Structures are given as structure tokens and as C-alpha cells.
Chain A
Amino acid sequence: MTCNSPPNARKWLFFPAPHRLKDLNEHTRNERKKDTCMTLLRTLIPALALALSAVSPLATTTAQAEPLRIILDSPVIEPLPFAIPQFIAENGEAGQYAADISRVIASDLVNSGLFREIGSDAFISGITSFDAPVAYNDWQAINAQALITGAVSASGDRIVVKFRLFDVASGQPLGEGLQFAGTPGSWRRMAHKVADAVYSRITSESGYFDSRVVYVEESGPKDNRLKRLAVMDYDGANVAYLTDSSAIVLAPRFSPNGESILFTSYASGFPAIYIMDVATLGIRSLGEQPGTMTFAPRFSPNGQTVVFSLERGGNTDLYTVDVGSGQLNQLTNAPSIETAPSFSPDGSQIVFESDRSGNQQLYIMPANGGEARRISGGPGRYGTPVWSPRGDLIAFTKQNEGRFHIGVMRTDGSNEGLLTASYLDEGPTWSPNGRVIMFTRQGAGAEGQPALFSVDISGRNLRQVPTNGPASDPAWSPLLP
């Protein structure tokens, strides 16, 4: 095999199917020997090889009756103190991985705003062996409520990460020990999977750490902005670029299975929507109609339909296009602007914005068109509605009295809550578990750069997401397999 022709490389760039695991494993092993030619591939792939990991229980202890618990809907959440002694390196090769994986797990948990790490300088006892009994008293004494222990072994192209979670107060394990196996390039994904398991056991909801975000990276002055599509882990690591910046690109969106990305590009000179195969980076146009402009695309939950805006003669309406056949279907027919459509998770309805009342407001209609009901009712203008993956909330951008906000409301328009306020916040996207929203925040003036921020749906834990440069239009992937 040569550097120029890695067989099957396209198949495993992002999310390999489980039945391909054996092939992937062999391929990865071969490819890793070509260290010099792997550098670029690594930037795209770190994720992948993890799919070949097996998950096997180490113990069968059952959780006690009243487990350690965070109730996410509580009005006040005090971050839960946890300790994570550096994972044990079970052989010399595993040393750096053990250290790095422990740090990524801690970082995921702390960044969620739900957990507080107790530093190792406070530890009374250490963990010398993954299977040794836990000295609960020593962890109770430093007020740790959760203890995460783990071990990493590495040999060649395979590393194995094991972990256990303990409820310190009750002196019992919380759930079974688990292990993840994968290639060294997927070590961060294994760490995210451990953190997701911890999050899930303590909150009783699925996590969101093992996920990616597609977005637009920006450069250059504001009056001649260069934009290109990029994808990264949810926490800003492992950035890879999907297009160059020869044409303006806007608002990428993942398909429900994470294998395709919709986006709007000016590559033809006119804004039009395209679909990219993430594995091959191949692109094709979608819903193209001569003399029109298409934009604001989003997938249906089954991935077979795309809803989008089509402008003709100055008027913008909503259409769907069948991804396979290209069949167009017009959903709205009004002289007003209809745009920013988003499907409900069951696929039966679409929320969108329209200025039919005189300014931008949010409406919900059946997925095949028909009568729409307005759901937004407060002061100001409402745009870019996005249905939450849990189905219960609509996230939106609100403009009122010269400020922009990211907010959420129920699907009937009740219980509106504004989560942020700034000169310009826009374009919310949901974490896979519907608990966190990422969006674009841009400062004012020539030096005002856009950046990605995240915030809980409670309005807590506002954070900037690290990116290589100015960034906008984030869209979260589903949880990776």
C-alpha cells in the first residue's frame, strides 16, 4: 500500500458502519506504519477508529437504591464535586494516553457546568491498581461525591481504556466498569465516551461529549470575508477543513446519521444549496432551479427530505426536495419571507420564521405544508427557530431594542426564556441530548469577530468554544456511534 492510495480510506473517514469493523481494523493497522503520510489523515479522522472498540463489562455490581444523581431540571444546580486520579498506565506505551485521557474526561465534565473537579493535591490516597478496593473514607474526607478510576493499556495500533465510577457517599460503584478499545488516533473519542457514560449515569440522560460540530471558519476583513467549512470535536479539538474559501459558504447542517452535510455556497455566483458526502468530500447541488436562489436547508429526521428556502422574483418561500429523486414540493406560497425551517423530531411538523404579520415571527405548520399557527408573541422579532432533539422546546434568535438574544420557548410559544444577550447573537444549534445550545456571537465594528459560544438551556454556563480563528454558523452532529 502506498500513501497515495489507501484502500477504503473514504469509507472510514468519519463514521464507519459496524459491519466494516474488521476491514477498518486491518486498514488502520497498515496505514499507521506510514507515519509520515498519516499526518493529514489524522486531522480528519481521529474519530473513526473508535467505532471498532468493544465495550465489555468488568464487573456486575448493581447500583444501590438511591444513586448519586443530578436532576437537570432543578432550578439550582450546585456543581457536583468529583475526583479523577490520573488513569493508570498499564504499560509504558500507555503513559501519555493515560494522562491525556484523564484530562479530557475531567475537562468534559467541568465544561458541562454540572461538575467540579477536586484537584489531585487534595487527595489523601491514590489509586495504585485498577482492581484494588477503593478506600471510600479517603474520598469522603475530601468531599468528593463521585470518584472515577481508570486504566489504559497501549500496544501498537490499539489502546484500551477501562473505567469505573463510584458513589463515594454510599461507598458503592455506580454501574458497571466498562472498557473501550480503539486506535491511538481515537483516544480523545474514548475519553469523551467515558465522560458521556459518567454524565449519563449521574443525570439519567444521554451525554453529548462524543459529538462533532460543523461550522464556518472566517478570515480576512469584514468587507471581504473569506469563509470555509470546517468540522471539529464539540470541544474544539481535531479541526478539519471541508472546503476552501474560494466562494462564500454559509450555514452547514449535519444529516441525522452524520454522513452528509448540507450547506449554502456562492460557488456558482449565486447562493444555492449543496450536499456533501462527509467521507469523500464529494458535493452535488440540490433543488437547483434556474433563476432562483436557494438557502437555509435542513434535513428531515429520516434524512430523505430537505426543507429549504427558495427565492424567485424577490419572494422567498419554503420548499422540500427529496434527496434521492430531486422531486420538489412547495410548502408555502405567500408574498412574505418564509425561511429558516426546522423539522420536529418526529418529522410531522416544521417550525419556521415569516414576516407575514409585518415583522419576523415564528410559525409551525404540518410537514407537507398547510395552515400555520404563530407561536411567538413577545416584543421584538424572532428568527432562526430550531426544534430540540427532545421535541419539547424551540430555540430561536430574538432581536429586541437593539440587542440580540438566544432563547427557548415551548412548542406552543409559552414559557419563553432568553438565555443570552449581546450586540449580535444568532443561529442556535442543539446538543444531541437537547441540554446545551451552541450559537454565533459577533462583536460590533471593524474588529468585531464572530465566535462560537455555548450555553445551557437554563441560561447557565455560557462559554466560548475554542476555534482556530473567527467562526460562525455552528451545527451540532448527532452523538457518534
Chain B
Amino acid sequence: MAYTTKALMLMAVLGLAACNNPDRYGAGGGPGDGTGAGGIQTGGLGDASDPRSVAYFNQTVGDRVLFAVDQSTLSDQARATLAGQAQWLNTNSDYAVIIEGHADEQGTREYNLALGARRASAVQDFLISQGVAASRMRTVSYGKERPVEVCSDESCFSRNRRAVTVLSIGAGA
């Protein structure tokens, strides 16, 4: 069956891509907050009481910062969180990071991709200024494709306008 064969070939191609894939939203991946089955988060979060654990980074240091509408400027609170992230990353030098930029749904798809990239880049620039090596970091924008909250008012939008620092052990960028 020609079409089936082609579809399988295509799936194989995409599937292979997914295996090398830092995209934690890839095939079978769970939603946003860290324990997706696909991609880099499968290494285990560890015990949140262990200051060297990924869980500690995500929960205690804080893995994300939030932005105002249509802005990529870091607030004072965001800078404080990122300073903590930088300190942790400088201590735990085995980890590489991917910084994800996200937007709320109040915008067109293309613009939000570009806006998410600005946000991720703002975080990366700040971490570099705090001594984290640029070679350990990569950015990616999801635009409005991966909200963590699905209501359509400011209570959700404000949590979706975010940049998330995602750790991966041993995966030097």
C-alpha cells in the first residue's frame, strides 16, 4: 500500500528526529511542567530537598520568569529569580539548559514566535551576564503553542507569558 508505506517512512523520519530531540513537547511528551516522557526530562528530578537536584532548581530556585503584555524586559522579580538560576548553574556545571520563550494567545502566531524568542534571549543574556557560559545554553520559542494555563483571561495569560529554564544533564549545548 503505497500511501501507508510513505506515511510510515515519514513517521520514521520524524520519529528519529524526535529521539535526538530536546523538545520536551515532542512525541508522547507531557505538558509543560517538567516530567514529559519524551526528550531531555527523563533523567529524573531527584529529591527537592537536595539542593543539587533538578526538582530543587525547578521549585526552590524557580525555573521560570514572567513578562508583561507584549514585553521582553526583565522585571526586578525576574532578575532576582535569574540571579538564583545563575548561581545554581555556576555551582552545578554538569547541566546544559534550553531556555523556552512563550507568549499568551493574544497575538498572531508568527509574531508570538518572535516575541517568545525575544523573551528567551533576554533570559539568556542575563544569565551570561551572571557568568553562565553561553555554550551551555540554547533558546527556543514556542510562541503561543504551549500555554500552561488554558483560560482566556489575564489570570492565565500572565502565567503563559513566560521564559522557562529547562535543565538537561550532560547535554552540552
Contacts and interface: CB of A to CB of B under 8 A. Distances in A.
A247 B10 contact: no
Interface in B60-115: 70, 72, 105-111, 113-115
Contact of B14 (A243, A296, A383): A243
How many interface residues does chain A have, given as a range? 35 or more
Contacts of B145: 225, 248, 250
Contacts of B17: 247, 267-269
Interface string B105-140: 111111101110110111011000000000000111
B103 to A, nearest CB: 12
Nearest to B3: A40
A267 B140 CA distance: 13
A313 B120 CA distance: 9
Contact of B149 (A223, A267, A295, A473): A223
Contacts, number: 173
Contacts of A251: 109-110
Contact of B13 (A283, A444, A473): A283
Contacts of B20: 268-269
A314 B139 contact: yes
A198 to B, nearest CB: 33
A128 interface: no
B18 A281 contact: no
Contact of B109 (A6, A267, A291, A426): A426
B111 A243 contact: no
A223 B105 contact: no
A4 B152 contact: no
A40 B4 contact: yes
Most buried by A among B1, B11, B110, B148: B110
A353 B70 CA distance: 15
Contacts of A5: 2
A313 B121 contact: yes
A3 B1 contact: yes
Given A339-B110, A384-B110, A223 B147 contact: yes
Contacts of A156: none
A201 B141 CA distance: 49
Contacts of A423: 152
Contacts of B108: 340, 360, 383-384, 397, 399, 426-427
Contacts of B14: 243-244, 246-247, 265, 267
Contacts of B109: 250-251, 384, 426-427, 473
Contact of A269 (B10, B22, B110, B150): B22
Given A246-B11, A247-B14, A247-B17, A399 B107 contact: yes
Interface in A281-322: 281, 283, 291, 293, 295-296, 309, 311, 313-316
12 contacts: A9-B2, A222-B147, A225-B146, A243-B14, A244-B10, A247-B14, A247-B26, A267-B13, A281-B9, A311-B113, A311-B114, A353-B111
Interface of B: 1-7, 9-11, 13-15, 17-18, 20-23, 25-27, 29-32, 39, 70, 72, 105-111, 113-115, 117-118, 120-122, 124-125, 138-142, 145-152
